[in-house]
Structure 1
């Protein structure tokens, strides 16, 4: 069986695809996997690091205004589709599995052209252009949030095993030792994801002194492209966190954006959060965390309303109320789905089997 994944642009589109690819290979070592993506996103870094071949097409983001890029867009897209179709034919692909992003469009169109079964998974509360388009070419559609795509099956987001299998209580002490955090006392984890760290960093800079003076320890991922602040007692700034599972285990409260992967992981492990949706795109981030907030598993504040004073007051109020934190953690955990990866693998297998039987 050869499974081709179509995804790219950001880690939010690529990570669930990579997780599913790993699970498929682990289930059956004879399964072959390759990726179709673009040349401008994180594909080259993330896909090749996992050892999977990548076909980088000429896919481009959908132009928002008239420009030279807009004129070239249809020609580059057509070229990308032919590149993707050539790959599907060359490997005799059994199925194309897509998780969205502009770089997925050539793979989706190529699947339709070559009559290769296509699976679409939408993680966000509002579907992006690629998945809206791709969903018109297949009956195999799933989404995390209801009503996002027509006829979509409900299915959670595949999570990396380190998170899906995490026992927060069991790993807490080891997790705190990893960053030299106190074994006792509240810990707040702050990160902005691959796109949204800068404003959070500015707000946190004005809150750190008050938080640490109150006995709160802070683990802060500032982002690889941002200046690393100086550490001081109870404040641990890092450029990037490689072991997010252990960061979650160390934390009593998280301050973060509302990316689909972040929301899925925090509910799976049951850690309460203050969500600050990134104000870009079509508003999908606000919708991603809204069900968690409505269930009592977190708070949500608009990016423009987030200030150092608000963060200090709100974070201190929460971490100093252990009963409330436990209630929020339980509410978040009730929405989590640790088995979505297994469900995704079964679904891919079923679609391939149906094709082989001529259904």
Structure 2
């Protein structure tokens, strides 16, 4: 298998691409995986760290709304498509897999120009421009949400990292609590808003942490790298209030948690559902409202609560989250509902689709009797 994965830009595009790359390598270690990216975003950090080759192409951001900039896209895109086609030729690509964003669109055009099969994976409920265009070039379309209405899409779920897809939370719980200095006999609220943090979540939990701690709730709070200061220490009496800039081991954080307060990115929603963690989702109130749409399916299934950004206050947390943390039966019901809805096999399901698009059976050559 010689696959080119176009998932650059944000972690929401890169992480599922890398999870697929890992799945393809597990099936056949000889698989050739090349990632397309740009010098912007997290591409040059996350992809090399995972050991995959990265080929850079020029960034051509796509307009989110129909403005006059739309008419300049074809001319700006031409050079990027040529560069993407050169990469396909260089690695003898047999399939191109796109995850949306400004890296995917030139990859789709280059693949069509070279006659290379295209696989589209759309994470969000509301597809972006690149995947709307790419889906018209192929029959192999996967969605990360059952609510996504991309024509021809198959709901396969999100490709997740193995540390999350295979996570046994009860088995890891003692180690997780020790790692973060948390007590085994208290309920744990995990709070995080992505790598950079979320101001609304931070302000709400900082306003409520004293009362929550007095009630016996311990808090693991990732404030975000952009909001972290070494001297940023909150004196809180009662239960532990552990503040960190960033969580490198999300498996340990999930294992320690009984409830999560978070945003509504698709990767977050998918991971929490897969590991059976109930959550309070606070969608980011900007863009096209995609985070609210992302969280709605698991909330409908009973695995979470949704609160609008402006409604999240310290008083709301004490009125709604504190009683929930004091009710182990309800937490267990919500966790079971989340797990029943979630999918842990999105990486393998997408790998099946990739092999299908490439005209293979899904197994290495030896297994096919070659």
- Asked if residue 305 in structure 1 is aligned to residue 311 in structure 2, the reply is yes
2:170 is aligned to 169
Give SS of 2:358's match. helix
Match of 2:44 in 1: 44
After superposition, the C-alpha distances for 1:98-137 in whole angstroms (9 at most, x for unaligned) are: 1112222111111111111000011111111111111011
Normalised to the residue count of structure 2, the TM-score between the two structures is: 0.91
Conserved in 2, the CA contact under 8 Å of 1:258 and 1:286?
A: yes
**2:124, 2:148 within 8 Å by CA — same for their partners in 1?**
no
The more displaced of 199-208 and 69-78 is 69-78
CA distance in 2, matches of 1:76, 1:322: 56
In structure 2, relative to structure 1, the CA distance for the partners of 1:315 and 1:340 (3 Å cut) is: same
Contact 1:257 1:278 in 2 (8 A): yes
1:262 to 250, 265, 268: 268
Change (3 A) 1:348 1:67: closer
Q: Are the equivalent residues in 2 in contact too, given 1:171–1:246 (CA < 8 A)?
A: yes
Aligned to 2:58: 58
1:295-332 Cα deviation digits (max 9, x unpaired): 21110011121112112322101101111111111111
Q: Structure 2: any 5+ residue segments left out of the alignment? A: 362-370
Structure 1 residue 59: deviation in Å? 2.1
SS of 2:330's partner is helix
So what's the TM-score if we normalise by structure 1? 0.94
- Deviation of the 1:88 alpha carbon: 0.5
Deviation by residue 1:180-210 (Cα, 9 ceiling, x = unmatched): 1011111000000146522211222211111
- Tell me what 2:219 maps to: 218
CA distance in 2, matches of 1:340, 1:64: 28
Q: Secondary structure at the match of 2:103?
A: helix
Partners in 2 of 1:336 and 1:167 — Cα distance? 15
The one of 330, 338, 341 equivalent to 1:332 is 338
Q: Does 1:230 align with 2:236?
A: no
8 Å contact 2:195–2:246 — kept in the other structure?
no
Q: Secondary structure at the match of 2:342?
A: coil
More moved, 4-13 vs 98-107: 98-107
- 33-42 vs 114-123, which moves further: 33-42
The residue aligned with 2:97 is 97
Contact 1:196–1:257, Cα closer than 8 Å, also in 2: no
Q: Which runs of 5+ in 1 are unaligned?
A: none
Residue 353 of structure 2 corresponds to residue 347 of structure 1: yes
**In structure 2, what is the equivalent of residue 239 of structure 1?**
245
Contact 1:221 1:237 in 2 (8 A): yes
Partner in structure 1 of residue 13 of structure 2:
13
Change in CA separation of 1:126 and 1:64 when aligned onto 2, cut-off 3 Å: closer
* Residue equivalent to 1:81: 81
Tell me the distance in 2 between the aligned counterparts of 1:341 and 1:283.
26
Q: What is the number of residues matched between the two proteins? A: 355
Using the TM superposition, give the Cα deviation of residue 85 of structure 1 relative to its aligned residue in structure 2, in angstroms.
0.8
